[in-house]
C-alpha cells in the first residue's frame, strides 16, 4: 500500500511514483555545479557590427568590431604585439564598402583634410571595385586586405610617417598570427609559412623605417605611445630585422632614461642580451 494506491483505477497510475517532497540538497548541488561550469565563449561572441559614417563619401556602413573590455589579454610578444583570447588585431582596420576609404580604427575619428580627401577620391575611390564582406568573424585574409587598403590610403593622402609605420606594424603582426595558426593540413605548409615570414619581415622593415623618420618629425605621444615605448619598440624592430647597432643604441636610450618603469627597462636589457648572443659581441 502506498500514498497513492488505488489512483490507478481512475487513470493516475502513471503518476503514483512521484515524491511528495523533492530532495532540496540534490537540487542545490546541481544548481551550484551548473554555475561553476565555465561557459566557453567563441570569437563571434565578442564581435558586433558597429555603424560608421565615411568622411570621404559621407555614407553610413557597418564593420565588424570587438566589444571593448570583454576580451582578456593573455600575453604579448617582444615587439609589444598583444595576445588576447583570439586575435583582436584582425578588427583594427575599417574599410568603407562604398568608396574604399580605409584607416586603422585609431585614426577613424581624425577626418582627412579637404586636400587629402581629394587625393583619396582621385586615386582610391575611382579605382575601387568593392570588397568582399566577411562572415561572422574576420579571417586573416579579410583583415590583411583591409590593412593593405589602410596603408595605401595613408600613402595616397600623404599621411604622417607614424601612421604608415603603425599600419605596417599591424600588418606584420597579422602575418605572424596567420603563420602561427595555419592549419596542419595546409598544402605546402612549410613554403606558405616561409612566405608569410618573409612578408612579415618586409612589413617590420617598413615599420622600423617609418618610426625612425617619425622621431625627427613628430611629437609624442605617437600612435598612443609615449617616447620611451616607441623607442623600445623601434629598438626591437631593429633587432628583428638585423640592424643590431641601431637596436643597441636605442636600447641604451631606454635603459638610461629617467622616470621610466622598471618593466620596460628590463625588457630592453633582455633585448640587449639577445643581440650580444646573436652577434657574439660583448658588453663594453
C-alpha cell at 125: 575611390
pLDDT at 124: 97
Residues 258 and 185 in one domain: no
pLDDT at 118: 98
pLDDT at 199: 98
Nearest CA-CA partner of 94 in 82, 83, 108, 80 = 108
Instruction: Answer left, alpha or beta for residue 280, where phi above 0 means left and psi between -120 and 50 means alpha.
Output: left
Domain boundary among 191, 206, 225: 225
Q: In the chain, which residues have pLDDT < 50?
A: none
pLDDT at 280: 86
C-alpha pair distances (Å), 238 with each of 108, 198, 214, 232: 29, 16, 15, 10
* Contacting residues for 197 by C-beta, under 8 A, at least 6 apart: 175, 179
SS3 letters for 100-135?
A: CCEEEHHHCCCCCCHHHHHHHHHHHHCCCCCCCCCC
- How do residues 58-79 score in pLDDT, each as one tens digit? 999 999 999 988 899 999 999 9
Domain contains 63: yes
pLDDT at 40: 75
Residues 208 and 241 in one domain: no
Residue 223 is inside which H or E element, if any? none
Check: CB of residue 271 under 8 Å from CB of residue 239.
yes
Residue 203's domain spans which residues? 44-225
- How do residues 219-267 score in pLDDT, each as one tens digit? 999 999 999 999 999 999 999 999 999 999 999 999 999 988 899 999 9
C-alpha pair distances (Å), 101 with each of 47, 63, 95, 114, 157: 22, 13, 6, 14, 11
Residues 174 and 252 in one domain: no
Residues 202 and 263 in one domain: no
Domain contains 33: no
Domain contains 135: yes
d(CA 138, CA 144): 10
pLDDT at 14: 61
Check: CB of residue 204 under 8 Å from CB of residue 236.
no
Residues 192 and 66 in one domain: yes
Domain boundary among 199, 225, 251: 225
DSSP character for 85? S
Domain contains 171: yes
Domain contains 24: no
pLDDT at 17: 67
d(CA 1, CA 254): 88
Domain boundary among 225, 240, 257: 225
Residues 112 and 243 in one domain: no
Amino acid at each position: 500500500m502506498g500514498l497513492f494506491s488505488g489512483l490507478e483505477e481512475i487513470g493516475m497510475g502513471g503518476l503514483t511514483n512521484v515524491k511528495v517532497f523533492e530532495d532540496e540538497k540534490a537540487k542545490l548541488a546541481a544548481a551550484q555545479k551548473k554555475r561553476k561550469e565555465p561557459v566557453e565563449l567563441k570569437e563571434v561572441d565578442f564581435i558586433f557590427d558597429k555603424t560608421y559614417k565615411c568622411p570621404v563619401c559621407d555614407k553610413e556602413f557597418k564593420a565588424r568590431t570587438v566589444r571593448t573590455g570583454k576580451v582578456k589579454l593573455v600575453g604579448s610578444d617582444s615587439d609589444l604585439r598583444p595576445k588576447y583570447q583570439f586575435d583582436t588585431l584582425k578588427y583594427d582596420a575599417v574599410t568603407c564598402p562604398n568608396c574604399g576609404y580605409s584607416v586603422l580604427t585609431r585614426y577613424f575619428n581624425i577626418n582627412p583634410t579637404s586636400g587629402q580627401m581629394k587625393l583619396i577620391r582621385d586615386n582610391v575611390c575611382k579605382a575601387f571595385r568593392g570588397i568582399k564582406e566577411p562572415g561572422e568573424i574576420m579571417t586573416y585574409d579579410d583583415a590583411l586586405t583591409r590593412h593593405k587598403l589602410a596603408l595605401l590610403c595613408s600613402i595616397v593622402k600623404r599621411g604622417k610617417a607614424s601612421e604608415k609605420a603603425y599600419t605596417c606594424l599591424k600588418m606584420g603582426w597579422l602575418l605572424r598570427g596567420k603563420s602561427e595558426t595555419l592549419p596542419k593540413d595546409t598544402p605546402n605548409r612549410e613554403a606558405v609559412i616561409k612566405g608569410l615570414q618573409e612578408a612579415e619581415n618586409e612589413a617590420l622593415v617598413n615599420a622600423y623605417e617609418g618610426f625612425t623618420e617619425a622621431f625627427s618629425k613628430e611629437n609624442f605621444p605617437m600612435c598612443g605611445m609615449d617616447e620611451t615605448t616607441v623607442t623600445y619598440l623601434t629598438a626591437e624592430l631593429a633587432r628583428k630585422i638585423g640592424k643590431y647597432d641601431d637596436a643597441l643604441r636605442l636600447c641604451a636610450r631606454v635603459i638610461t632614461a629617467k622616470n621610466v618603469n622598471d618593466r620596460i627597462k628590463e625588457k630592453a636589457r633582455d633585448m640587449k642580451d639577445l643581440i650580444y648572443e646573436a652577434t657574439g659581441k660583448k658588453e663594453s
